[in-house]
Amino acid sequence: MTSPRSDAPRAATERPLIKRVFLDALVCLRRGWLLHNPEGDRRPPGPGDQFQFAQGHAVGDRARELFGPGVDLRGPATAEWMAEGRRVVDDAQTRVAYEVPLAAGHAVARPDVLVREAGGWRVIEVKSGKSEKTEYIDDLAYTVAVTRAAELPVVGAELALVNAEWRLGGDQPALVRLDVTEDVLARSEEFLPLLEAVHGIVTAAEAPAAELKSACRKCEFRGARCFVDGPRHPVFELPNIRSRRVDEWIAGGITRIRELPETEKLTAVQQLHRRAVVSNALVTDAGALARLAEIEEPAGYLDFETLSLALPPFPGVAPFDVLPIQYSLHRRTAEGDTAHRELLVDPAAPDVEEFARDLLDALAGVRSIVVYSSFEKQRLQWLAQRLPALASGLEAAAGRLFDLLPVVQAAVAHPEFHGSLSIKRVLPVLVPELTYAGLEIGDGENATGVAGLRALGRLGDEEWARVRPQLLAYCKLDTFAMVRLHEALRALPR
Ligand code: SF4
């Protein structure tokens, strides 16, 4: 749920090892070091982060209902609080304890829940997810390793996960317990001897050397504090390339796309991308571009923003159901004029029927509905299942969708895409005059975060009135970007 932290900043050598640093260091020692030794001011949490915290708290509150009364040590892990944590677990009267800060050597951890049983403690990690994942086992294994290193015997390990069957007002519990003792104890056995070793590495004066690998693909430090000068277009920039293959190439001395031998077996999309990198230019596939002729006028360009909560406070909505709450529709006539229509329902009381009726009205007369991914199709199908009276109209709309993404994937590549076909990556190359810069909400994570905060009651009416126009502006730009991208694709030489 939360990580231990201190009120006052401390020197890197004095800071204890925390879970995120340890687990990231297992993937890349340099990444662990960079995390432990941050530079500059920490970025203040945006709406996306705040929503994740709020959601974690909401699920944590349910864990307190599930495990019952206990000592609650939420709060900053100051030295006094660490001492209090030790006192609490040493007190034979403590049966259940929440978020107790524990220290062992130079490592600290904070079990979400500790339950005293015969012979030791059951350690429970509370997760805002529905099913077991490998990373959950590793998260819990770190906590268990520190608990054991702190000389507290561990007799059980559990995940408390969101119950997919839970509904507001129903009789199902919000969380379900999953015993993972065997896996977690085995993994913690591997972690125990590494705790001090990793702390030694992340507190050393020099960062470990950078080593290119598949994990660099999504590393936040690449280009900023690591591999600042390249290599340009490393092999993991090939679209949809498997990590194992990337690591095999790098182990064999091939780090850049241009070094790949012609004989390497690649998909058509990967070959197109390689051609773009090798020629350092835009390359196109005329056959794939010809699919644009399937778009019938008048065309609409549609984008949804959605709301998805672990424990949605709305009747009949399942955990992590994805509710469409906002649409933007640009409509283009055969003469080339565009008109815009939009709707954003209040996430605090999302009326999906109002949303669907308004959307169907807006789509009347539109022949092809252009989207950029399969997301809108899935949401229309979800709405059709939920609203039988509107199902035929919604299914018909889903049948008129034209997904621009596979066309872009198969038809266009440019070195500056860096292997990504997201509209935000493609747009600066094909429509450079259109930009998301300057928008207060400029990405999906923060848009979803704002909606989630409103739904969880963390955004009052005044703040909602302030941010609502920003959400509208963001979604509107997404669909206008599609209009312009379509024009740019049509103008490409065949
Ligand atoms: S870019 Fe690669 S080598 Fe550098 S810190 Fe990230 S994962 Fe490690």
Q: Which domain holds residue 317?
A: 291-490
- Give domain status of residue 280, yes or no: no
Cα–Cα distance for residue pair 319/165, rounded to 1 Å: 8
- Give domain status of residue 420, yes or no: yes
CATH number of the domain within which 46 lies: 3.90.320
Note whether 190 and 317 are same-domain residues: no
The pLDDT of residue 4: 38
- Give domain status of residue 283, yes or no: no
Note whether 57 and 188 are same-domain residues: yes
Residue 418 has pLDDT above 50, yes or no: yes
- Give domain status of residue 252, yes or no: no
How far, in Å, is the centroid of ligand 1 from the Cα of 221? Answer: 6
Task: Out of 200, 223, 241, pick the residue that ends a domain.
Answer: 200
The pLDDT of residue 10: 65
Nearest 10 degrees: Cα torsion 308, 312, 317, 323 = -30
Instruction: Give the tens place of pLDDT for each residue, 299-343.
Output: 999 999 999 999 999 999 999 999 999 999 999 877 778 899 999
Mean pLDDT over the full length of the chain: 94
Residue nearest to atom 7 of ligand 1 (CA): 216
Position 40 confidence tier, pLDDT thresholds 50, 70, 90 = confident
The single-letter code of the amino acid at 394 is: L
Q: Is 158 exposed, middle or buried (0-12, 13-18, 19+ CB in 10 A)?
A: buried
Q: Which two tokens stand for residue 84?
A: 């209090």
Pocket test for ligand 1, best of 21, 27, 31 (most atoms within 8 A of CB): 31
Question: What mean pLDDT comes out for the span 8-27?
Answer: 86
Mapped onto helix, strand or coil, the DSSP state of residue 262 is: coil
Helix H or strand E encompassing 449:
helix 444-455
How far, in Å, is the centroid of ligand 1 from the Cα of 5? Answer: 24
User: Residues near 239 by Cβ (< 8 Å), separated by ≥ 6?
Assistant: 267, 269, 270, 273, 409, 419, 420, 421
Q: Tokens 């998805």, residue?
A: 308
CATH number of the domain within which 426 lies: 3.30.420.10
Instruction: Give the tens place of pLDDT for each residue, 195-204.
Output: 999 999 999 9
Helix H or strand E encompassing 369:
strand 369-371
Establish whether residue 26 lines the binding site of ligand 1, counting it when its CB lies within 6 angstroms of any ligand atom: no
Q: Where are the alpha helices (DSSP H) in 400-443?
A: 404-411, 423-430
Pocket test for ligand 1, best of 37, 221, 225 (most atoms within 8 A of CB): 221
- Give domain status of residue 441, yes or no: yes
User: Residues near 368 by Cβ (< 8 Å), separated by ≥ 6?
Assistant: 294, 295, 296, 297, 299, 300, 400, 401, 402
Instruction: Give the tens place of pLDDT for each residue, 276-290.
Output: 999 999 999 999 999
Establish whether residue 31 lines the binding site of ligand 1, counting it when its CB lies within 6 angstroms of any ligand atom: yes
Note whether 181 and 304 are same-domain residues: no
Q: Where are the alpha helices (DSSP H) in 103-231?
A: 134-149, 181-191, 195-202
The pLDDT of residue 8: 46
How far, in Å, is the centroid of ligand 1 from the Cα of 376? Answer: 35
Position 438 confidence tier, pLDDT thresholds 50, 70, 90 = confident
Establish whether residue 320 lines the binding site of ligand 1, counting it when its CB lies within 6 angstroms of any ligand atom: no
Note whether 179 and 297 are same-domain residues: no
Residue 3 has pLDDT above 70, yes or no: no
pLDDT > 90 in the chain, percent: 88
Task: Out of 166, 183, 200, pick the residue that ends a domain.
Answer: 200
Q: Is 173 exposed, middle or buried (0-12, 13-18, 19+ CB in 10 A)?
A: middle
Cα–Cα distance for residue pair 232/445, rounded to 1 Å: 28
Question: What mean pLDDT comes out for the span 60-65?
Answer: 95
Note whether 195 and 297 are same-domain residues: no
Q: Tokens 């024009």, residue?
A: 487
- Give domain status of residue 51, yes or no: yes
How far, in Å, is the centroid of ligand 1 from the Cα of 408? Answer: 30
Note whether 186 and 313 are same-domain residues: no
Note whether 478 and 372 are same-domain residues: yes
Note whether 44 and 175 are same-domain residues: yes
Establish whether residue 211 lines the binding site of ligand 1, counting it when its CB lies within 6 angstroms of any ligand atom: yes
Pocket test for ligand 1, best of 21, 226, 235 (most atoms within 8 A of CB): 226
Task: Out of 145, 176, 200, pick the residue that ends a domain.
Answer: 200
Q: What is the pTM of this model?
A: 0.91
Domain count, the chain: 2
- Give domain status of residue 122, yes or no: yes
Instruction: Give the tens place of pLDDT for each residue, 372-415.
Output: 999 999 999 999 999 999 999 999 999 999 999 999 999 999 99
Residue 132 has pLDDT above 50, yes or no: yes
Establish whether residue 208 lines the binding site of ligand 1, counting it when its CB lies within 6 angstroms of any ligand atom: no
How far, in Å, is the centroid of ligand 1 from the Cα of 420? Answer: 19
The pLDDT of residue 2: 40
Mapped onto helix, strand or coil, the DSSP state of residue 118 is: coil
How far, in Å, is the centroid of ligand 1 from the Cα of 255? Answer: 14
Residue 212 has pLDDT above 90, yes or no: yes
What atom in ligand 1 is closest to the CA of residue 226? Answer: 4
Cα–Cα distance for residue pair 126/57, rounded to 1 Å: 10
Residue 1 has pLDDT above 60, yes or no: no
Position 9 confidence tier, pLDDT thresholds 50, 70, 90 = low
Note whether 309 and 443 are same-domain residues: yes
- Give domain status of residue 448, yes or no: yes
Establish whether residue 236 lines the binding site of ligand 1, counting it when its CB lies within 6 angstroms of any ligand atom: no
Note whether 41 and 162 are same-domain residues: yes
